[in-house]
Structure 1
Amino acid sequence: MKFVAYTRELQGTGASRRLRISGKVPGIVFGAKEPQMIEIDHNALFHALKKESFHSSILDMELAGAVEQVILRDVQMHPFKQLVLHVDFQRVDATTRIRKKVPLHFVGEENSQAVKLDGCLINHVITELEIECLAQKLPEFLNVDVSGLAKGQSLHVDDLQLGAGVKVVLHGKKNPVVATVVAPVVEEVVVAAPAPAAAAPAKGKGKK
């Protein structure tokens, strides 16, 4: 993906506030060279942030007539308005090694024995993973094939097929569960017993 940025001359809280009022977003690009203060059109950035690939792939940033490769590092949003307050990018090249969270795409659920034959559901325990790799090998997402899962089984990080040079950063966790099969819930219907009929009064009683 490609986006256009512009050099930001003024800094400070007041300058950033005026920038946002004019429909721009203040930002910064760091890494490899000196940090560069930038500004980006808010609407263009807001719509780009809705795309999954903008968060987990290498981007081409056009700045002052030159194109640099960057990745998105941080986005600050307004607490309740649909407003981007600040954005950070990192320059990357063929030798840059990065850590980045990428989304998981689950495939093959409809073909799994657990779903087809046993009526189970597959619970997505983890929806993204932090990986470490060269920037040029950064995958946009990781496919998680759950077609082989049967009732009572789970899929772990060690079961995932990763590209060459890509490894998962677990932060001390040991082979966490990515997806697990959940058995269908059987609802027990309780039928209430009918209330006993009231006994008829004996003849000759109840009336005077």
Structure 2
Amino acid sequence: MTEANFVLAAEPRKEEGRRNSRRLRRAGRIPAVVYGDGKPAESISLDVFAAYKFLGNEQVYSNVVTLDLGVRKESVLIRDLQMHPYKDEILHVDFMRVHQGELVTLNVPVHLLNEQNAVGVKMGGGLLHRALTEVEIQAPVGKLPEAIEVDVRELQVGESIHLSNLKVPANVVLVALKHGDDKEVVSIHAPHGAASEEEGAAAE
């Protein structure tokens, strides 16, 4: 968990609709909206260069962001980025207002530790397979982990790690487990040649 303060400047906007959104983008700004916390939704805009730099940081997606609107500030989480169908272009950003201690649900990345030193890879020649690159969690604002770390050093060929095997911080819940879905996170498979040989031997 980080104590960093993530601040993004924004400006209120009154004009809405596709035509005005296109006009904003031509002027170097990205249309966005802030909603939630029992308040009316508010249309805002972001400077395109500042937004791309800010949103390129993985940490901002699992931390509370402060939107600086000049005369006031809003504490928010980034909920959605609408991307252009085939260009690397952000068309719209959704922010959700939050307050300290509020229980929120979001996706955080899975970071694998000791990938190259995993026993099944280094000693067994196995192939590491990532089944999940992110997991959905539920946690209070202020207690959100930036990522879930998974140490694969002791993982052998043919073994796997599931959600139920993960160590998560206190107050953090893995949403899939709440619904009885113990997803595989990572595993080590035998090399294709070795697998074929084993199958052949079993057939004999």
TM norm structure 2: 0.85
Among 16, 19, 38, the alignment partner of 1:14 is 19
Instruction: Summarize the alignment of residues 92-171 of structure 1 with structure 2, pairs less than 5 Å apart.
Output: 92-170=98-176
Among 51, 61, 73, the alignment partner of 1:55 is 61
Q: Does residue 181 in structure 1 map to residue 185 in structure 2?
A: no
Is this contact kept in 2: 1:25–1:39, CA < 8 A?
yes
**TM superposition shift of 1:59:** 1.2
Cα distance per residue 1:121-148 (max 9 Å; x no partner): 2211111001011121111111011112
Letter in 1 for 2:66: D
Q: Distance in 2 between matches of 1:97 and 1:157?
A: 21
Identity across the alignment (%):
36
**TM superposition shift of 1:77:** 1.2
Q: Which moved more, 1:160-169 or 1:45-54?
A: 45-54
Cα distance per residue 1:24-71 (max 9 Å; x no partner): 111111122222211101122123222211222221211123332211
Equivalent residues, number = 188
Q: Which moved more, 1:178-187 or 1:20-29?
A: 178-187
Q: Which moved more, 1:47-56 or 1:141-150?
A: 47-56
Is this contact kept in 2: 1:102–1:128, CA < 8 A?
yes
Question: Equivalent residue for 2:96?
Answer: 90
Q: Which residues of structure 2 form unaligned runs of 5+?
A: 1-5, 197-204
Is this contact kept in 2: 1:105–1:144, CA < 8 A?
yes
Structure with a larger share of its residues in helix:
2
Question: Equivalent residue for 1:27?
Answer: 32
Runs of 4+ aligned residues of structure 1 deviating over 4 Å after TM superposition are: none
Q: Which residues of structure 1 form unaligned runs of 5+?
A: 189-208
Q: Distance in 1 between matches of 2:26 and 2:148?
A: 38
Structure 1 counterpart SS, 2:92: strand
Structure 2 counterpart SS, 1:110: coil
TM norm structure 1: 0.84
Structure 2 counterpart SS, 1:64: coil
**TM superposition shift of 1:173:** 4.9
Q: Distance in 2 between matches of 1:110 and 1:27?
A: 41
**TM superposition shift of 1:95:** 2.8
CA radius of gyration, larger in? 1
Question: Equivalent residue for 2:202?
Answer: none
Calculate the aligned-residue CA RMSD, in Å. Answer: 1.8
